[in-house]
């Protein structure tokens, strides 16, 4: 940790200096003028849109947003809905696995690509291409690959291992892992790119010094490089986290929430309520709960990130 703080004071140092900066920079109006689009977007669109959503979650809005107050009725119904409870549990399982899996795979791949290998461009593009393709159809391809009669099970059994069983999408207890296979496939490429950009920014001398000190490669990554990449990891975490919370297309394309309701997720609950059930109020209540959860996680983070600086 001490290395990270001294060697790469990215966050820490700009934080320390920002303590001195405000008095100087506060005078500069250009920064504020340049930030007008951001302030407008944050306040009018995101804050305004959120407040609008929360307000309408207390109404019985159906197809159209209308102010017929019903108090907490939408929330009562939400929390007595089995589908919502299942959705949250599923998101928990998927979220933890996806977060760990994406970080692990993306960082490993980025580190491997950073080892001065041949064909880096090819590998990088292969890892990144799933990000470019519409999930409506790539979801279908995964459906095929995971289908026992068409895909992997068929192939493996064809090779002679006739007792091989692999049917994740039709088994309620493992269907979320089936989705995870495709989710990791689609999402890790971009995170890998961000990690690679981070690794490329790390000083060669760090490696030299580590070697002088006799620190092994893996240990260097874990002890020195990763702590130095804190901003990159923060970016990645937000991206992965936002992807998890918004998880929807993947589920629709592969299982439509099935078998039964065993792969339902909150964002799909919201969309089905709003556009299928024509019950905007219910959808808004569900999305408000999602938002509250995000706020509960993000506000302490923001406090640490920004509040900590004043000490610096």
Partner 1 sequence: MKLTTKLLAATAIVGAGAAHATDLEVMHWWTSGGEANAVSKLAEAWDATGNKWIDGAIAGGGDTARPIMVSRIIGGDPPAAFQFNHGRQAEELIQAGLLMDLTDVAEANHWKDIVNPPSLLDACTVDGKVYCAPINIHSWQWMWLSDAAYAKAGVPVPTNWEEFAATAPALQAAGITPLAMGGQSWQQNGAFGVMALALAGQDAWLKVNKDKDATVVMGPEYTKVFEAFGAAREFSAGLNVQDWNQATAAVIDGTAGAQIMGDWAQGEFAMAGKVAGTDYECLPGLGDAAILDTGGDAFYFPVNSDPAITAAQKELAALLLSPAVQVSFNSAKGSLPIRGDVDLTTVNECTQKGLDLLAAGKVVPAGTELLSPDTVTQLNDLMTEFWSTPTMTPAEVQKQYADIIASAT
Partner 2 sequence: MANPGTLAPAVAANRDMSGPRGAKPKRAFSRANIIVYGTLIVVAIYYALPLYVMIVTSLKGMPEIRMGNIFSPPMEITFEPWVKAWSQACTGINCDGLSRGFWNSVNILIPSVLISIAVASVNGYALSMWKFKGSELFFTILMIGAFIPYQIMLYPIVILLREAGLYGSLTGLVLVHVAFGMPINTLLFRNYFSSIPEELFKAARVDGAGFWAIFFRIIMPMSLPIFVVALIIQVTGIWNDFLFGVTYISSPDRYPMTVQLNNIVNSVQGVKEYNVNMAATLLTGLVPLVIYFASGKLFVRGIAAGAVKG
Q: Under rule CB under 8 A, which residues in 59-78 are in contact with partner 1?
A: 62-64, 66
Cα–Cα dist 40/211, whole Å: 50
Are 199 and 111 in contact, with CB atoms under 8 Å apart? yes
Task: Choose the one of partner 1, partner 2, none that binds residue 49, judging by a C-beta under 5 to 8 angstroms depending on kind.
Answer: partner 2
Task: Choose the one of partner 2, partner 1, none that binds residue 6, judging by a C-beta under 5 to 8 angstroms depending on kind.
Answer: partner 2
Task: Choose the one of partner 1, partner 2, none that binds residue 255, judging by a C-beta under 5 to 8 angstroms depending on kind.
Answer: partner 1
Task: Choose the one of partner 1, partner 2, none that binds residue 170, judging by a C-beta under 5 to 8 angstroms depending on kind.
Answer: partner 1
Cα–Cα dist 115/119, whole Å: 11
Are 287 and 53 in contact, with CB atoms under 8 Å apart? yes
Task: Choose the one of partner 1, partner 2, none that binds residue 260, judging by a C-beta under 5 to 8 angstroms depending on kind.
Answer: partner 1
- Binders of partner 1 among residues 120 to 159 (CB under 8 A) are 143, 148
Sign of the C-alpha dihedral computed for residues 190, 194, 195 and 199 taken in this order: positive
What angle, rounded to 10 degrees, do the helices at 230-245 and 82-113 form? 150
Q: Which of 251, 118, 85, 82 is closest to 182 using CA atoms?
A: 251
Task: Choose the one of partner 1, partner 2, none that binds residue 67, judging by a C-beta under 5 to 8 angstroms depending on kind.
Answer: none
- Binders of partner 1 among residues 246 to 275 (CB under 8 A) are 255-262, 271-275
141-176: b (≥16 Cβ within 10 Å) or e: ebbebbbbeebbbeeeeeeeeeeeebbbbeeeeebb
Closer residue to partner 2 (CB): 69 or 117: 117
Are 123 and 117 in contact, with CB atoms under 8 Å apart? yes
For the bound state, the minimum distance from the C-beta of residue 180 to partner 1, rounded and expressed in Å, comes to 19
- Binders of partner 1 among residues 186 to 245 (CB under 8 A) are none
**Contact status: 167 vs partner 1 (CB under 8 A):** yes
Please spell the DSSP secondary structure of 122-191, one letter per residue: HHHHHHHGGGGS-HHHHHHHHHHHH-TTTSHHHHHHHTT-TT----GGG-TTTHHHHHHHHHHHHHHHHH
**Which positions from 274 to 293 touch partner 1 by CB under 8 A, shown as an x/- string?**
xxxxxx--x-----------
**Contact status: 52 vs partner 1 (CB under 8 A):** no
Distances from the Cα of 125 to the Cαs of 118, 121, 190, in angstroms? Answer: 13, 6, 10
Size of the site for partner 1 (CB under 8 A): 30
**Contact status: 57 vs partner 1 (CB under 8 A):** no
Closer residue to partner 1 (CB): 31 or 256: 256
Task: Choose the one of partner 1, partner 2, none that binds residue 193, judging by a C-beta under 5 to 8 angstroms depending on kind.
Answer: partner 2
Closer residue to partner 2 (CB): 176 or 190: 190
User: Which residues contact partner 1 (rule: CB under 8 A)?
Assistant: 62-64, 66, 81-83, 143, 148, 167, 170, 172, 255-262, 271-279, 282
């Amino acid at each position: 940790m001490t290395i990270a703080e001294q060697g790469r004071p990215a966050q820490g140092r700009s934080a320390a200096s920002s303590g001195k900066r405000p008095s100087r920079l506060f005078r500069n109006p250009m920064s504020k003028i340049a930030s007008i689009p951001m302030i407008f977007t944050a306040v009018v669109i995101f804050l305004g849109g959120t407040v609008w959503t929360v307000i309408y979650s207390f109404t019985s809005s159906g197809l159209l947003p209308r102010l017929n107050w019903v108090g907490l009725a939408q929330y009562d119904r939400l929390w007595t809905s089995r589908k919502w409870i299942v959705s949250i549990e599923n998101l928990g399982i998927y979220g933890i696995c996806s977060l760990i899996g994406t970080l692990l795979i993306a960082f490993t791949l980025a580190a491997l690509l950073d080892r001065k290998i041949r064909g880096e461009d090819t590998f990088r593009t292969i890892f990144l291409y799933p990000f470019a393709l519409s999930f409506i159809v790539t979801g279908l391809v995964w459906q095929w690959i995971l289908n026992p009669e068409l895909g992997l099970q068929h192939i493996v059994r064809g090779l002679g291992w006739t007792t091989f069983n692999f049917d994740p999408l039709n088994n309620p207890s493992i269907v979320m892992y089936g989705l995870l296979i495709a989710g990791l496939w689609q999402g890790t490429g971009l995170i890998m790119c961000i990690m690679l950009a981070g690794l490329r920014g790390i000083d060669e001398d760090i490696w030299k010094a580590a070697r002088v000190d006799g620190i092994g490669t893996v240990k260097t990554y874990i002890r020195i490089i990763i702590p130095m990449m804190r901003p990159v990891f923060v970016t990645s975490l937000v991206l992965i986290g936002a992807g998890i919370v918004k998880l929807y297309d993947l589920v629709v394309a592969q299982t439509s929430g099935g078998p039964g309701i065993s792969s339902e997720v909150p964002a799909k609950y919201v969309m089905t309520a709003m556009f299928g059930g024509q019950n905007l109020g219910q959808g808004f209540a569900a999305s408000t709960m999602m938002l509250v959860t995000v706020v509960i996680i993000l506000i302490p983070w923001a406090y640490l990130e920004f509040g900590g600086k004043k000490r610096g």
